[in-house]
């Protein structure tokens, strides 16, 4: 195990909070280890506007991967939901350590004085996610759904300024920033199925350094790793990218795992749902593929391709 270790992260307040949380866990697990957090401003943070022009959510990941490959850092930390799942990762990199899953649910924040919209209300709601866009249109058919970029503080300021009536964010992210007090409603997963990997932080390393980085596995969650295998198998099998309205949520049951998957049209008019369960004798990757196959049988390919 090295005496010091460079952990690369984006420079946003949220990312710094994630990185320093991982640093604390690693240093507690390995007394004497120094974890140095190195911050970088990614293209996704620097450029306003449509993320699609930068390569989608992967823009937040690619810069750190580049620095990892160039050996500027020893490890990178990502929100798993930002790591593209529609194509294989760079062959020299590996997702190596999965932290315990935080709350995967989505949260609605309305402008002070406003309640959750009704189905008939013409509210203006903001989100950066195609999945949330589709499900918000399904829940609130008369609402206008607008795109939203920026860090959480920027988004909160826009809300306070009256640029829209409400927005949907990750409840885990709000928890990291201690901003849960602003939440109007937390959506049950049955109402708004979470994104693949939502609430999960992952440490990525170079494959050539796997042996050198074994100490990272001290903070790995075996349960989270199994959940990740199922959810990312769903995404890979569907060949959905970050412009597709896809959701996948796997959870532990008394005797195994259960998973639900969803593919939706952008306007929320068509919602395809599938679910399956399996016992502990099978690898969870099979569960994700079963759910994906059910969705494809229902016509998910046509919906996904229409978003490309």
Q: Which residues are catalytic?
A: 82
Task: Report the distance separating Cα 69 and Cα 72, nearest Å.
Answer: 8
Q: Is beta strand 75-79 parallel, antiparallel or unpaired with respect to 201-206?
A: antiparallel
CA dihedral 108, 113, 118, 124 (to 10 degrees): -70
CA–CA dist 107, 247 (Å, integer): 15
SS (H, E, C) 196-232: CCCCCEEEEEEHHHCCCCHHHHHHCCHHHHHHHHHHH
Other Cβ atoms within 10 Å of 92 Cβ, number: 12
């Amino acid at each position: 195990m090295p005496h010091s270790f460079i952990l690369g992260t984006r420079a946003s307040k949220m990312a710094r909070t994630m990185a320093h949380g991982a640093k604390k866990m690693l240093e507690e697990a390995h007394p004497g280890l120094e974890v140095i957090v190195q911050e970088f401003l990614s293209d996704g943070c620097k450029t306003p506007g449509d993320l699609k022009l930068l390569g989608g959510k992967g823009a937040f990941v690619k810069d750190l991967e580049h620095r990892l490959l160039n050996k500027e850092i020893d490890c990178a930390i990502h929100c798993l939901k930002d790591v593209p799942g529609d194509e294989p990762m760079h062959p020299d990199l590996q997702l190596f350590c999965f932290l315990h899953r935080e709350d995967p649910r989505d949260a609605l924040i309305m402008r002070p004085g406003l309640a959750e919209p009704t189905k008939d209300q013409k509210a203006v709601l903001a989100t950066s996610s195609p999945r949330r866009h589709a499900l918000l249109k399904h829940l609130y058919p008369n609402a206008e759904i607008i795109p939203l970029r920026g860090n959480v503080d920027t988004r909160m300021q826009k809300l306070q300024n009256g640029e829209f009536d409400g927005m949907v964010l990750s409840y885990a992210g709000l928890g990291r920033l201690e901003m849960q007090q602003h939440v109007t409603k937390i959506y049950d997963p049955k109402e708004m199925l979470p994104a693949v990997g939502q609430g999960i932080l992952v440490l990525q390393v170079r494959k050539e350094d796997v042996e050198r980085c074994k100490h990272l596995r001290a903070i790995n969650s075996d349960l989270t790793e199994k959940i990740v295998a199922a959810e990312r198998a769903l995404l890979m099998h569907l060949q959905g990218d970050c412009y597709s309205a896809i959701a996948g949520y796997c959870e532990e049951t008394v005797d195994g795992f259960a998973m639900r998957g969803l593919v939706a049209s952008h306007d929320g008019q068509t919602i395809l749902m599938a679910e399956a369960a399996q016992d502990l004798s099978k690898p969870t990757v099979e569960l994700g593929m079963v759910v994906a196959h059910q969705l494809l049988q229902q016509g998910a390919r046509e919906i996904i391709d229409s978003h490309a």
